[in-house]
Amino acid sequence: MRAHRLLAVAALALGAAPPLFAHDLWIEPTSFSPRAGEIVGVRLRVGMNLVGDPVPRVPALVNQFVAARAAERKPVLGRDGGDPAGMLRVALPGLQIIGYYSNPSRIELPAEKFNAYLEEEGLDSVLALRVLRKETAAGARELYSRCAKSLLLSGSPSEAEGDRPLGFPLELVAERNPYALPAGEDLPVRLTYQNRPLAGALVVAINRADPAERLSARSDRDGRVRFRLRASGMWLIKAVHMVPAPAGSDADWSSYWASLTFESLRGSEPDPTR
């Protein structure tokens, strides 16, 4: 019964949606800059424009929940139904990568909402295929999985330390350490699907201080985008990829939602036009 209650709570957090269902899931630690030895709460949040609701830890949804540093990789532990969903002790200074990959959840959307959601998330190829198949008036059954990451820094930043792949189906990897990035330089981010570069995907960067002023770009043939992150504070970089659902899955589409969060330590850069 407890497991059923946990799944019901998670379904409300993950599935209850506004008109477009464009709900992002991200990792929001209790601190992006913990001291060595400090215990950090690893919170999962679902919502829009970096305003979200807590997502409790539901064991049935957890495929991977890990923390990685250098060659070390260990599970993020937590209490069933708890928020934060995990707890992590930062043993040593340096860059820490936290990753959460969920098992798929199922949702069924009417045609109007599904089409609008495809347009909102830049899933043009899926929308075009539905037009070609004359399916735009039909609803859709979807399996969706979350592939969230977060970068924490304990101590001083170093260009020698950086993000790395965790092996999630859809994954955003910062190719430079955002904590060590000099002002006025771009942050290159690579998007991969099944460990291969994903071209043509819409990648969006949002800052908590001004989520309406979002940055967006389509990934190039190497799966790469570049963002000039002028504002300080928490950043969320996100992307969605959708493919036909596996045969026998009782769904039409499978989607993967990737996110990457970190905190920019620089202040706002001056406007060069002034």
Instruction: Flag whether pLDDT at 16 surpasses 50.
Output: no
Q: For 152-165, write each residue's pLDDT tens digit.
A: 999 999 999 999 99
Percentage of residues in the chain with pLDDT exceeding 90?
84
* pLDDT class of 272 with cuts at 50, 70, 90: very low
Instruction: Flag whether pLDDT at 269 surpasses 60.
Output: no
18 or 178, greater pLDDT: 178
pLDDT at site 95? 96
pLDDT at site 117? 94
Q: For 233-267, write each residue's pLDDT tens digit.
A: 999 999 999 999 999 999 999 999 999 999 987 64
Mention the CATH class of domain 2-264: mainly beta
Q: What is the 3-state secondary structure (H, E, C) of 197-252?
A: ECCCCEEEEEECCCCCCCEEEECCCCCEEEECCCCCEEEEEEEEEEEECCCCCCCC
Instruction: Flag whether pLDDT at 3 surpasses 50.
Output: no
Q: DSSP strand E in the chain: where?
A: 24-29, 39-48, 51-55, 62-69, 72-75, 86-89, 94-102, 105-109, 140-154, 170-174, 187-193, 196-197, 202-207, 215-218, 224-227, 233-244, 253-264
Model pTM score: 0.90
In the predicted model, what is the mean pLDDT of residues 77-84?
97
pLDDT at site 200? 98
Domain positions in the chain are 2-264
Average pLDDT, the chain: 90
* Cis? peptide before 84, omega within 30° of 0: yes
* pLDDT class of 1 with cuts at 50, 70, 90: very low
List C-alpha distances in Å: 24 to 10, 83, 145, 175, 226.
14, 18, 11, 22, 21
Cβ-contact 170, 241 below 8 angstroms: yes
The contacts found for 155-161 with CB under 8 angstroms, 24 or more apart, are: 155/36, 155/93, 155/94, 156/93, 157/95, 157/265, 158/94, 158/95, 161/94, 161/95
